[in-house]
A and B are shown apart, each in its own frame.
Chain A
Amino acid sequence: MTRRTVSRLRSWLPSGRTLVIAAPFLFLLIFFMVPFAAVVKISFADPQMSIPPYTPIVELKDDSLRISATLAHYRTVLTDALYVDSYLYSLEVAALTTLICLLIGYPACYLIARSDPSRRNLLLMAVMLPFWTSYLIRVYAWIGLLKNQGLINKFLLWTHVTGEPIKLYHNNWGLLIGMVYNYLPYLMLPLYAHLVKMDLTLLEAARNLGARPWQAFFTITLPMSARAIVASSLLVFIPAVGEYVIPEILGGSNSLMIGRVMWDVFSVNNDWPSASAATCALVLLLLLPMALFQRVQRREMTSGL
């Protein structure tokens, strides 16, 4: 083969650059996007007692191509009280969790970022350490604290703050405490990473120009960390909406978050089409916050700030 033929053949093959980009691209496409296609397809099917437990949408039977897609599941998911209530409740819990995490986490991050450089690393490690230990074990640990005979109630009774135990286990309070506890490090890490890189000279300048500390905070620090606040809040809010383990262990039977509903519909009822429709509805619901997160992340990635 002549050199010219070889080089002509080679120009047909994808370049090295394309191959390098294509490999992870394909991996993500196959294991992230294609599954969504499967979910959408099955959400139009009907449940039936078979393996797999749903009807085929396109069928070749008796020499005719039958296409049967049902929208009934979407109607259920968008109107049935079970779904609508749990969507709303999930959003509510996620929003509350995010807010409380911010109220606790922002001051904590700020204080750590402004402390001595020698102590800073130790403090940060102390914050991240619980994050590395098993999340299941830590959520489980709250059971012993929240029960009526648990430590918190024992403490409250011992100090005579309350006359009888407060119900904190298997109800909405336990759920909220567990959620905040779990998601706090997720909020603090990106927020801290931003606050520690912040340019303090602007604050100095403000102080020199006569601003009081709180004034400087609200007019300079807070706006400058706006993007980090949004990113870390979304990092808490979006996954919190679909949380399953914490509501299951610490929540009550009436604190139905959408994650639990989807699990029950999928595994217990074996109703895959309804669960798929619920999945699509949840993705659509979260599309806006996710797009916002993507935008903030891309700015963060390209600006290097």
Chain B
Amino acid sequence: MTRTDKVLGNAFLGLVFLFLYVPTICVVVYSFNESPLGTVWSGFSLKWYAALTTDDELLSAAWASLKIALATAFASVFVGTWAGFVLARFRKFRGLTLFTAMINAPLVIPEVIQAISLLLLFVALQQAVGWPARGMFTIWIGHTMLCVSYVAITVQSRLSSMDESLHEVAQVLGATPLRVFFDITLPLISQALISGWLLSFTISLDDVLMTAFLSGPESTLLPIVVFSRVKLGLNPEINALGTLFIAAVTVGVVVNNHLMMKRQRRRDLEMAALRSTP
């Protein structure tokens, strides 16, 4: 690449990153703004963070969201890993096409379709057997359905690119398939599981549509509260909340990335050492 190409390339990337980051930077900066008007800076202040601590509606919604997000993350990792394992290990079985379609469709299908259909299912169930009532349980199922596909695809791609010989060796040495899965497969795909868990957690914490459709009268989650406030325009407390979010996620992503790099470097060193020994 010529020099001008390189400069142009860097400038273009710079613009793209500007586009991606200016909104988040604004949220952070204006969370410390004294003035309640979003775009007029009138001084540094932490009062919006203080306001957050007394905002009961927001706090209780945040707590409920956290519980659901944790439940969703574990459930979707459980189901998603199982589904990904099936996709990777069993090349041919009756209903494979349907199975892959059911895994791929939630990735792309507009969320409103999934939300309406799940709601109708739960209502029909409630008519027929009196359970479940709309609330935390239905939200949990809805969020899990949103996230399962991501986990399944990640696990599937990780498993199919993995060396099968390790599993074969274990089976030859007499381990049952269950043992092979828990002792060999699971540790090897642990990274995929962790990123799947984090992704599910994030998706659940942030979801508006599915939550709105599937929540009952008493269950209010954080995204719903934020959404209803945000529809009316700028809201400085939301800036503070957003900044806290951004800070937590940034720390998490950077730390995770750093750990991943370290693990990768260690793995590369181990492989190199294995290869060099006669």
Contact = CB atoms under 8 A, between A and B. Distances in A.
A133 B12 contact: no
A294 interface: yes
A128 B113 CA distance: 27
Interface string A252-290: 000000010011001100001001100100110010011
Interface residues of A, number: 86
Contacts of A144: 26-27, 30, 38-39, 234
B104 A294 contact: yes
Interface stretch (A4-12, A60-68, A107-115): A107-115
Contact of B23 (A138, A235, A241, A283): A138
B16 A104 contact: yes
Interface string A118-136: 0001010111111011111
A191 to B, nearest CB: 13
Contact of A121 (B19, B27, B261): B261
Contacts of B118: 31, 35
A184 B40 CA distance: 29
B100 A294 contact: yes
Interface residues of B toward A: which range?
A: 35 or more
B106 interface: yes
B26 A35 contact: no
B173 interface: no
How would you classify the secondary structure of chain B's contact residues: helix, strand, loop or mixed? helix
A245 B227 contact: yes
User: In the complex, which of the residues A138, A142, A149, A234 has the most CB atoms of chain B within 10 Å of its own CB atom?
Assistant: A138
A52 B123 CA distance: 7
A31 B108 contact: no
B84 to A, nearest CB: 9
A174 interface: no
A16 B177 contact: yes
Given A130-B24, A143-B230, A149 B39 contact: yes
Interface of A: 16-17, 20-21, 23-25, 27-29, 31-36, 38-39, 42, 52, 104, 107-108, 111-112, 114, 121, 123, 125-130, 132-138, 140-145, 147, 149-151, 154, 181, 184-185, 234-235, 238-239, 241-245, 248-249, 259, 262-263, 266-267, 272, 275-276, 279, 282-283, 286, 289-290, 293-294, 297-298, 301, 304
